[in-house]
Amino acid sequence: MIIYNFALLLAALVIIPFLFWRLAIGKETTDSLWQKLGAYRLENPPTGGIWIHAVSVGETNAAVPLVELLAESQQRPIIFSVSTQTGMKVAQSRLAGKALCIYFPFDFPFSVDRALALFAPASVIFMETEIWPNFMHHARCRGTKTVMINGRISDRSFGNYGWIKWFLAPALRDFDLLLMQSAADAERITTLGALPKTVRVGGNIKFDRPLPNLSEKKAIAAEFGLPDGIPAVVFASTHPGEENIFCGVIKGLISEGLSFFPIIVPRHIERAQKVAALCREAGFTPRLRTSMETGGDLLILDTIGELARLYGGAAAAVMGGSFIPHGGQNPLEPAGWEVPVIFGPHMENFREISLLFLNAAAAANVMTGDALKDALGRWLRDPAEARKIGIRGRELLIQNSGALKKTADTIANLLQ
C-alpha cells in the first residue's frame, strides 16, 4: 500500500491538471469533482445501506434489476455509484426513487475514508472487475462486507494483471466474496491471488434482463424515423477505425442492389459530428437523431440510453468494438429483440457470451470487412434465415437466466 499511495501522490501531479481540463470541456462538473474527492455535501446521508458500484452505462443497465430486487428484499437504503457522466444520467433516470446516485470516490486514502465514514455501508458491491486497493482496505478496516459480482477476467486483462500479481493479490484478499461469471474467470482470479474460499461461479446477470415486448417493433421504427418497408441495420457502439470499415460495407451492399437503412451508433456520442463528416466523405447524407431534420440515407444515433430500444426497429445488428482490438460489445440487447447479431474477431471482453451464441448458432462471427459484407448480404437476401438466428438468440437469453436471483440471495446471506 505504501508503494501504491506514493505512486498515487506522484500521479496527482498529472491528474489534477487533467481534472481541471475535464472540467473546462464539460466532462466533469464541480459537483462530480467534489464527490470524487469524498465531499458529498448531503444533509441526511443514508447509512448502513448497500452500496453498489458500476463504472458506466453498460454496467449500470445490468445492475438496475439487481438494485430493484435488493430494494424489495432488503430493509436497507441503496447507494448507487458510477464513474462517468453518461453512467450518472442513466442511473438517475432508471433508479429515481430507488437509490441515491453518487460518483465513486478517487482511490486516494482521504477520499475513500471520507466516503466510507459518511455512508457507513453494510456492504459494497462492485460490478465486474473493479479493484481499488485503498477503498478495499478501508472498507475491511471498517468491517464493511465487500463483494465482486459478475466478475470476469478477459484474455488481455489476465495477461496484464499477471505482471502486477504481487500488487493485486492483497486487494483481492480483501474481498469477502467474488462471484465470477464462469469457471474460467474463477480460476483466473484465484491464480491472481484471491482466496479460493471466497471465489464462486455466479453466472452472468446480464442475461437476466426483462425481455422486450416484440409487438412494439413497428412503433419503434416510426419513433426513430426509419423508412417503412426497408430493413434497418444497426452498427452499434462503434469506435474510431470501424466507421471506415462499415461505410465500405454499406456502399458494397448498395452496389449489389440491396436496399436497407444503415444506422451508426458511436460508442461515445461526442464523436457523432466527426462520424457524420466521415459518412459525408463516403458519399452518404447522414442525419443525427438529435437534429430536427428528416430524410437522409443514414442515421447517426447521438443520444444516450436509446440504443437498447432502437434495436427493436432493426433487422440485424453489427457489434462495434469487435473489428478493432477493443474487446467487443455486448450482444444481449439486440438478441432480446430477436435481432440477429454479427461480430468481428475481437470479442475478448465477452468471450463466454460470444461462444454461447456461436455454439447455439445464434450469431455470426466474421474476421474482415469483406466477410461482414457477405454475411449481411446473405441475411438481407434471406430474411427468414436471419429471423431464425434472431429467435435462437432470444431463446439463449431465456435459457441462461437465473444468475440475478442467485446473486441477490448470496448477498442477502452474506449480510445476515
pLDDT tens sequence across 11-46: 778 888 888 888 888 888 899 999 999 999 898 999
CATH architecture of 214-399: 3-Layer(aba) Sandwich (3.40)
Contact present, 50 and 121 (Cβ < 8 Å): yes
Amino acid at 369: G
The answer to whether 40-208+402-415 and 214-399 have equal CATH topology is yes
Rg (Cα) of the chain, in Å, rounded? 22
pLDDT tens sequence across 322-331: 999 999 998 9
What band does 215 get if pLDDT is binned at 50, 70 and 90? Answer: very high
pLDDT tens sequence across 253-271: 999 999 999 999 999 999 9
pLDDT of residue 22: 85
At residue 102, does pLDDT exceed 80?
A: yes
Looking at CATH, the fold of the domain delimited by 40-208+402-415 is given as Rossmann fold (3.40.50)
pLDDT of residue 74: 85
pLDDT of residue 304: 86
What band does 147 get if pLDDT is binned at 50, 70 and 90? Answer: very high
pTM, two decimals, is 0.79
What band does 210 get if pLDDT is binned at 50, 70 and 90? Answer: confident
Q: How far is CA 232 from CA 2, 153, 379, 383, 411, in A?
A: 55, 34, 12, 12, 42
pLDDT tens sequence across 337-353: 999 999 999 998 888 89
Comparing CA positions, the residue from 204, 238, 219, 400 lying closest to residue 309 is 219
At residue 6, does pLDDT exceed 80?
A: no
Q: Which of 59, 128, 333, 338 is catalytic?
A: 59
**For residues 30-51, b (16+ Cβ closer than 10 Å) or e, as one string?**
eebbebbbbebeeeebbeebbb
Walk across the sheet containing 100-103 and list its strands. Answer: 100-103, 78-82, 50-53, 123-127, 145-151, 177-180, 199-201
Per the annotation, the verdict on 59 as an active-site residue is: yes
pLDDT of residue 154: 79
What band does 86 get if pLDDT is binned at 50, 70 and 90? Answer: confident
pLDDT tens sequence across 341-389: 999 999 988 888 999 999 999 999 999 999 999 999 999 999 999 999 9
At residue 155, does pLDDT exceed 80?
A: no
pLDDT of residue 196: 95
pLDDT of residue 258: 97
Question: Quick one: how far is CA 303 from the chain centroid?
Answer: 16
Per-domain residue ranges for the chain? 40-208+402-415, 214-399
Length of the chain: 416
* Residue 143, CB-side half-sphere exposure with 13 Å CA sphere: 4
